[in-house]
Chains A and B, each alone.
Chain A
């Protein structure tokens, strides 16, 4: 397979990663069965594992490809390993244990095995099975039921006792309740089973389900606090418009979205410190700021899809050397960020902006926009090229690549060269006025210069480097940009 296929077209890594995760699940089950680190505390999990493993393969796969299942399995693997062979804990695992309310490894594993019951709840709701757990699942609301469009909403803690056909039996504030999907409740704090909005567009089906991110150790769910239950459904038209743009300008991306993206959650643009975010531990899901501009959203969709795709590619083999967890330092200038980044962050940025840049160039070539919209599209097309040249220069100078990574990096260099050639062909100029989208979706000048006129795209790139390239890694910026 050539480098272009690996980076942009091959869908094999999706299947491979889900299979690898299922293999890890089997390894966890066998390790717990053989070694019993919880002295019988793992028995209910082992019995429930057997139920899930015996499910029809389509049902198992539906549950297994939910972002929650990867998250759960990876942590189950690490916690099991930690209990059997104690080693210093990575920070992420410490945060997860703290989220569970303990720093004791065996207690953390016991609590984590309980969370597997969310997969069993999904299985029971899909298959209409009656079941009572030996121990109720005690967890925090809201939570997503993996592999389904259902979430349990509400506030505080809840005990899920079992399922009764299509209903869940729960205890909330000492009161027993039976929850059926869609049943109305008067108090928004009360537990209830709801269907999330689904966006269906031809073969694409995406759940708009913020509860997916309500996981111990992840603070991403902060951005959803206080949102109305209608907030997600209110974004579907915006999402549809953005998907139509992608279909027009980068149709191959839709194929990958169909294969890979399960969940999107929208948040208000001002909520939390990030705009959009993807997590390697929650694959197939991402959070987008609902900036009311379809081109901005299309850019965000492609961007986050490609972060997710790169997670899958890297799971099959690293591109960079020396990027083990905790081994990297954030010390490199990135033209996309105000903070210094690790090389793996720069690699992610270069990869996603090549894809995003191709979208903007196609939008420019179509000539479908005029006025400030055209100015914005041109800004993004030019900005992508200039920033990519800096990103490539940083990686070329500072990164050490694996054997296969050398070939993939060369392909990325060729991609950036092609975009630079496209910029010339489209007659786009770095001297054009910089234009940006405000959080309310209004398009405005990037910044105003001392002369009271909008600064150019090139000037905004140079100013960023001047301010944030604190180690002067790109002191030869003119040479890097090579704009003659």
Chain B
């Protein structure tokens, strides 16, 4: 597959996304009910076409 995206390099990501990683870790391990950007609370969506066919 020849996608234009760069490969994901975990070590680099760990450095570049250190803040996000820490906030996710805090969300998992710290006090419950803390507001913030919670990926675990992001809405799921099932987009299904239920329009009738003839």
The reply to whether chain A is a binding partner of chain B is yes
B9 to A: closest C-beta gap in Å = 5
Asked whether any CB of chain B lies closer than 8 Å to the CB of A291, the reply is: yes
Most interface-central of B28, B31, B33, B53 (chain A CB within 10 A): B28
Q: Inside 8 A of A20's CB, which chain B residues have their CB?
A: 17, 20, 39
* Contact between chains at B21 and A27 (CB < 8 Å): yes
Contact string, B1-18, partner A, CB cutoff 8 A, digits 1/0?
A: 111111111100110010
* Contact between chains at B24 and A27 (CB < 8 Å): yes
Q: Which of A24, A84, A352 contacts B29 (CB 8 A)?
A: A84
A42 to B: closest C-beta gap in Å = 13
A339 to B51, alpha carbons, bound, how many Å?
Answer: 10
A323 to B43, alpha carbons, bound, how many Å?
Answer: 7
Q: Inside 8 A of A85's CB, which chain B residues have their CB?
A: 28, 30-32
Q: Inside 8 A of B5's CB, which chain A residues have their CB?
A: 11, 14-15, 18, 61, 259
* Contact between chains at B54 and A258 (CB < 8 Å): no
Q: Inside 8 A of A275's CB, which chain B residues have their CB?
A: 48-51, 53
B3 to A: closest C-beta gap in Å = 6
* Contact between chains at A303 and B3 (CB < 8 Å): no
Asked whether any CB of chain B lies closer than 8 Å to the CB of A53, the reply is: yes
Asked whether any CB of chain B lies closer than 8 Å to the CB of A269, the reply is: yes
Q: Inside 8 A of A62's CB, which chain B residues have their CB?
A: 1
Quick one: closest A residue to B22, CB to CB?
A: A27
Asked whether any CB of chain B lies closer than 8 Å to the CB of A295, the reply is: no
* Contact between chains at A27 and B45 (CB < 8 Å): no
Q: Could you tell me how many residues of chain B have their Cβ less than 8 Å away from some Cβ of chain A?
A: 40
* Contact between chains at B49 and A444 (CB < 8 Å): no
Q: Which of B8, B40, B53 contacts A291 (CB 8 A)?
A: B53
Binds B, one of A73-81, A99-107, A400-408: A73-81
A116 to B: closest C-beta gap in Å = 15
A203 to B3, alpha carbons, bound, how many Å?
Answer: 8
Q: Inside 8 A of B10's CB, which chain A residues have their CB?
A: 22, 26, 53, 57, 60
A57 to B11, alpha carbons, bound, how many Å?
Answer: 10
* Contact between chains at A324 and B53 (CB < 8 Å): no
A269 to B54, alpha carbons, bound, how many Å?
Answer: 11
Q: Inside 8 A of A278's CB, which chain B residues have their CB?
A: 46-48
Given known pairs A84-B28, A273-B50, the reply for A18 and B8 (CB within 8 Å) is: yes
B6 to A: closest C-beta gap in Å = 7
B53 to A: closest C-beta gap in Å = 5
* Contact between chains at A92 and B44 (CB < 8 Å): yes
Q: Which of B13, B31, B39, B43 contacts A344 (CB 8 A)?
A: B43
Asked whether any CB of chain B lies closer than 8 Å to the CB of A130, the reply is: no
Given known pairs A84-B29, A259-B3, the reply for A277 and B40 (CB within 8 Å) is: no
Q: Inside 8 A of A81's CB, which chain B residues have their CB?
A: 27-28, 40
* Contact between chains at A437 and B53 (CB < 8 Å): yes
* A26-68 residues at the B interface, CB under 8 angstroms: 26-28, 30-31, 34-35, 53, 57-58, 60-62, 64
Asked whether any CB of chain B lies closer than 8 Å to the CB of A214, the reply is: no
Q: Which of B21, B44, B49 contacts A281 (CB 8 A)?
A: B44
* Contact between chains at B47 and A337 (CB < 8 Å): no
A337 to B17, alpha carbons, bound, how many Å?
Answer: 41
Q: Inside 8 A of A28's CB, which chain B residues have their CB?
A: 28
* Contact between chains at B8 and A64 (CB < 8 Å): yes
* Contact between chains at B46 and A280 (CB < 8 Å): yes
Given known pairs A24-B24, A77-B40, A203-B2, the reply for A276 and B7 (CB within 8 Å) is: no
Q: Inside 8 A of A30's CB, which chain B residues have their CB?
A: 21, 25
> What are 12 A-B contacts with C-beta separation under 8 Å?
A14-B5, A18-B8, A22-B8, A74-B40, A80-B28, A87-B32, A87-B33, A273-B50, A274-B48, A274-B49, A344-B43, A439-B53
Q: Which 6 A-B pairs have the closest CB atoms?
A: A27-B24, A85-B32, A57-B7, A274-B48, A307-B47, A277-B48
